[in-house]
Amino acid sequence: MVEFKDYYQVMGVPRDATEAQIKQAYRKLARKYHPDVSKEKDAEARFKEVGEAYEVLRTPEKRAAYDRLGPNHRPGEDFRPPPDWNSDFEFSGAGRGDADYSDFFESLFGAQARAQGGRHRGFRPDRGEDHHAKVMLDLEASLTGGSRSFTLKMPEIDAEGRLTSKERILNVQVPKGILAGQQIRLAGQGAKPDSGKAGDLYIEVEFQPHALYHVDGRDLSLELPVAPWEAALGATVKTPTPSGVVELKIPPASHAGSKLRLKGRGIPANPPGDFYVILQIALPAANDDKAKAAYAAMAAALPFDPRASLGLGG
Amino acid sequence: MSPIQGQVLQGILVDESTLLSVEDLCRICAIERSHVAAFVEEGVLEVATVDAEEWRFRGDALRRARIAVRLQRDLELNLVGVALALDLMDEIERLRRDLKVRR
């Protein structure tokens, strides 16, 4: 049993939509949900769904066979294709190659898609295909190096020719200084052909958001809160850096947003990045008489107009 | 293919100092040589150096090439569109980082 999918609903087109309407709907949705472009939360899942719906609705034979299932199924309901549902249809053309389809799609078209061989591009048959994966990495792994374990889902064709996905756990030594967008090549961890050399696995890394540091390529930055008098008069304050706590000199007459650079203390790539401290002015709360008096004294002592540049006049 | 429990795989870092040949790109992205040539012609990829009349690409071209292949295939874009999209994506990435720092 698999869950029924309403491909017309996925694409947002009526059941009698023309080819042109379907194509138009696909392009719009694909642009919206393409994982490389989209920042939507479930972009990848939605994109797969849209791609699969398009694959069926754009191919006249597949669409006709799908339509034959009738309009009375609800999305998500348990579904088993009737035994003769696709008899008399001749399927042609390869599918989307390495795409991974829903169980519903597989139960309808899996065997044909596979038999028509979309999966092999016939490039260097003596060597297995290279595989790719993307992983989220903690920044510390790059700062210090070290091994991390990743759980990867690998599509696999089982004995019956159905596409399934298998999980495998890889322990990988993360190269110190790796940057977001860079890849780790793991030789021989790609597809293994029946004969010949296994392909490689390329792992692209992306950093998880860090509690303290922002990452910009190889540079890191930290927003460091300082008291108004520390910024105004200068001070030496403790600040965390990737290589440990350091005493940082705040120059006098600093202001909110002042940027202090610690050269070479960013990500230890080659060349190493820099570490930026961006000052933030934290104001003491005026919640007792002593604090209020101090603020009042400051107001009396300093001829200060923070809105001087707004042209409000005297 | 699956590693022994606890075994740590040593990977090779593909970064800007890595040089990739046309053949490397073809294999890793599963594309033809003519496809790489078209990418270069449209400015999707930049040739880093030429070694014995063979193009060499910087390691970070790999990520760009893979995105380009996906955009072309999934969004049915032509190469000019792919090149434009990649440039705009770089720009958005840069602006996002700026925004994070400034908040």
Q: Do B11 and A31 touch (CB under 8 A)?
A: no
CA distance B70 to B90: 16
Is B77 a domain residue? yes
Q: Do A170 and B9 touch (CB under 8 A)?
A: yes
Sign of CA dihedral B44, B50, B56, B61: negative
CA distance A310 to A157: 67
pLDDT (tens digit per residue) in A47-75: 989 999 998 999 888 888 888 887 777 77
For chain B, the domain total comes to 1
Asked if the C-beta of B14 comes within 8 angstroms of chain A's C-beta atoms, the answer is yes
* pLDDT(A133) > 90: no
Q: What is the mean pLDDT of the segment spanning A6-17?
A: 92
> Is the separation of the CB atoms in A43 and A35 below 8 Å?
yes
Domain span at residue B45 reads 19-102
What residue ranges define each of the domains in chain A, with the CATH number in brackets? 2-115 (1.10.287.110), 131-207 (2.60.260.20), 213-301 (2.60.260.20)
* pLDDT(A167) > 90: no
The CA-based diameter of chain B, rounded to the nearest angstrom, is 49
Burial call B47-71: b when 16+ CB within 10 Å, e when fewer? ebeeeeeebbbbbbbbbbbbbbbbb
CA distance A293 to A304: 17
Q: Which residue has the higher pLDDT, A74 or A111?
A: A74
Contacts of A202 in chain B (CB under 8 A): 14, 28, 62
Is B52 a domain residue? yes
Which three-class secondary structure state does DSSP give residue A248?
strand
Q: Do A121 and B15 touch (CB under 8 A)?
A: no
Residue position matching structure tokens 């995105």: B67
Q: Do A183 and B71 touch (CB under 8 A)?
A: no
CA distance A45 to B45: 29
| Nearest-by-Cβ selection for B9 from A36, A178, A186 | A186
Determine the distance in angstroms separating the CA of A34 from the nearest CA of chain B, rounded to an integer.
8
Confidence at residue A124, expressed as pLDDT on a 0 to 100 scale: 52
> Is the separation of the CB atoms in A166 and A158 below 8 Å?
no
**What's the pLDDT band for A94 if we cut at 50, 70, 90?**
very low
Determine the distance in angstroms separating the CA of A78 from the nearest CA of chain B, rounded to an integer.
30
Contacts of A258 in chain B (CB under 8 A): none
Asked if the C-beta of B67 comes within 8 angstroms of chain A's C-beta atoms, the answer is yes
| Nearest-by-Cβ selection for A124 from B10, B27, B100 | B27
Which three-class secondary structure state does DSSP give residue A223?
strand
- A3 - beta bridge partners? A78
- A152 - beta bridge partners? A168
| Nearest-by-Cβ selection for B2 from A123, A129, A168 | A168
Burial call A51-61: b when 16+ CB within 10 Å, e when fewer? bbbbbbbebeb
Contacts of A218 in chain B (CB under 8 A): none
> Is the separation of the CB atoms in A97 and A73 below 8 Å?
no
Q: Write the CATH number for B50.
A: 1.10.1660.10
> Is the separation of the CB atoms in A92 and A113 below 8 Å?
no
CA distance A185 to A244: 30
> Dihedrals φ, ψ of A24, to 5°?
-60, -45
Confidence at residue A276, expressed as pLDDT on a 0 to 100 scale: 95
| Residue of chain A whose Cα is closest to the Cα of B68 | A36
Closest by CA to A275, choosing from A205, A209, A215, is: A215
Is B11 a domain residue? no
Is B75 a domain residue? yes
Confidence at residue A121, expressed as pLDDT on a 0 to 100 scale: 44
* pLDDT(A221) > 80: yes
Is B5 a domain residue? no
* pTM attached to this predicted model: 0.71
Determine the distance in angstroms separating the CA of A26 from the nearest CA of chain B, rounded to an integer.
9
Q: What is the mean pLDDT of the segment spanning A238-260?
A: 94
| Nearest-by-Cβ selection for B74 from A51, A169, A170 | A51
The residues, any chain, with a CB within 8 Å of residue B53's CB and separated by 6 or more, are none
Average pLDDT per consecutive 10 residues, chain B (103 residues; last block may be shorter): 66 90 92 94 92 91 93 90 92 84 62
Asked if the C-beta of B3 comes within 8 angstroms of chain A's C-beta atoms, the answer is yes
